[in-house]
Amino acid sequence: MIPVTLPFLPPKEDYDILLHGIWKRQWLTNMGPLASELEMSLKEYLNVNHILFVTNGTIALQMAIKALDLKGEIITTPFTYVATTSSIVWENCRPVFVDIDQKSLNIDPEKIEAAITAKTSAILATHVYGNPCDVKAIEKIATKHKLKVIYDAAHAFGVQVNGTSIFNFGDISTCSLHATKLFHSGEGGLVITKDSKLLKEMAHIRNFGHDGPEKFYNLGINGKNSEFHAAMGLANFNFIQAIHDKRKLLTDRYDEKLRNFKAIKPLWHKDSKPNYAYYPIVFENEELLLKCIDFLKANEIFGRRYFYPSLPSSLPYIETKPLKWANDISKRVFCLPLYFNLTVEEVDLICRLLLRVQNN
Ligand SMILES: *Cc1c(COP(=O)(O)O)cnc(C)c1O
């Protein structure tokens, strides 16, 4: 059986050594030494100003919205994971959906301005599949209309634009360290910002708003993560390069073997260094996609229609009309299996099966 993804696991001994320290210290959570070490290591590796290790990527989004004190309407993308949208609603704001660009599959900056109203407070965009949004165009619009910008960078760990981390764009970027993501801590998330005031807000928000044991600084939540999760992150940290290299090898193999397959890959930001988090392809039509899914399934191979169906129309708490490209692309897009332990031979098999469907 070949699933769409499998989590990377470090050698068990590496994790055991870190567990040994946890047992010795008896410090299990609340910004323990491993959580701090993970933050320091990631800050240095990613070359970003401020980073907080939090419970998960969803809490990270909610903390970002809270820290920026957003109200009213938030312009966002319909082509993302549900957490992007639900966080907006959970924080009592209204998501306003702007269609995606049919080539990059990211929010189309040219359509943002038409959606801005007097109630708009921010833009919350997703770097879909780790492909950077047009961050320059979005920054220009945000500056002109005095809007805040949050990037849901859950897919974008390690991605660079013009030689700098993708996390350096917008007021706040968030990331997910969930087990299915490229770099993970089992469950986990990150908030990243250049602004030390926002860091202070979010550091307090993460810890119930506590300012010492008897005082409170702001409205907080429990956004902390545990030493066990930090240990998983630290054990995986040593393999980031190996994970990257293996995924690049598999991605290049797919590219080569699918040269003659009639599906296209999203158009990548031209000044970016990718992270090979996913292998999405957009089919010419849904019919061929469904045939391929069935044939792969018959051979015990499982990709994922990611993202399908298009978000707003599938959410019972949102009333909105489907948007043209998000709706159309979500019917035709498919992510092929991609994970550290996948072999080149398995990629070859997947590609052979896809080509057989097409050429039948
Ligand atoms: C995974 C994901 C999230 C949520 O992250 P969790 O850590 O699972 O809470 C948010 N946005 C996107 C785009 C994601 O893929």
Nearest CA to ligand 1 atom 5: 57
What are the backbone angles phi and psi of residue 102, rounded to the nearest 5°?
A: -70, -15
> Which atom of ligand 1 has the smallest separation from the CA of 61?
10
Whole-structure pTM value:
0.98
Query: What value does the mean pLDDT take over residues 247-266?
Result: 97
Ligand 1 proximity of 226 Cβ (cutoff 6 Å): no
Is 322's pLDDT higher than 90?
A: no
Q: Which of 318, 313, 316, 317 is nearest to 331 (CA)?
A: 313
Integer-rounded Cα Rg, in Å, for the chain is 21
Query: What value does the mean pLDDT take over residues 262-273?
Result: 96
| Structure confidence by residue, pLDDT tens digits, 174-225 | 999 999 999 999 999 999 999 999 999 999 999 999 999 999 999 999 999 9
The pLDDT value recorded for residue 311 is: 86
The pLDDT value recorded for residue 183 is: 98
Quote the Cα angle for 183-175-178, to 5°.
Answer: 50
Ligand 1 proximity of 154 Cβ (cutoff 6 Å): yes
Locate CATH 3.90.1150.10 in the chain.
Answer: 240-359
The pLDDT value recorded for residue 321 is: 86
Is 360's pLDDT higher than 90?
A: no
The pLDDT value recorded for residue 312 is: 86
Is 313's pLDDT higher than 90?
A: no
Question: pLDDT > 70: what percent of the chain?
Answer: 100
Q: How far is the CA of 172 from the centre of ligand 1 (A)?
A: 15
Locate CATH 3.40.640.10 in the chain.
Answer: 12-98+105-237
Query: What value does the mean pLDDT take over residues 31-55?
Result: 98
Which CATH code, of 3.90.1150.10, 1.20.1560.10, 3.40.190.10, 3.40.50.720, is assigned to 240-359? 3.90.1150.10
Ligand 1 proximity of 174 Cβ (cutoff 6 Å): no
| Structure confidence by residue, pLDDT tens digits, 20-34 | 999 999 999 999 999
Counting Cα atoms < 13 Å in the Cβ hemisphere of 103 gives 6
What are the backbone angles phi and psi of residue 252, rounded to the nearest 5°?
A: -60, -40
Which CATH code, of 3.90.190.20, 3.40.640.10, 3.40.50.1220, 3.40.50.720, is assigned to 12-98+105-237? 3.40.640.10
The pLDDT value recorded for residue 239 is: 98
For residues 115 and 75, is the Cβ–Cβ distance under 8 A?
Answer: yes
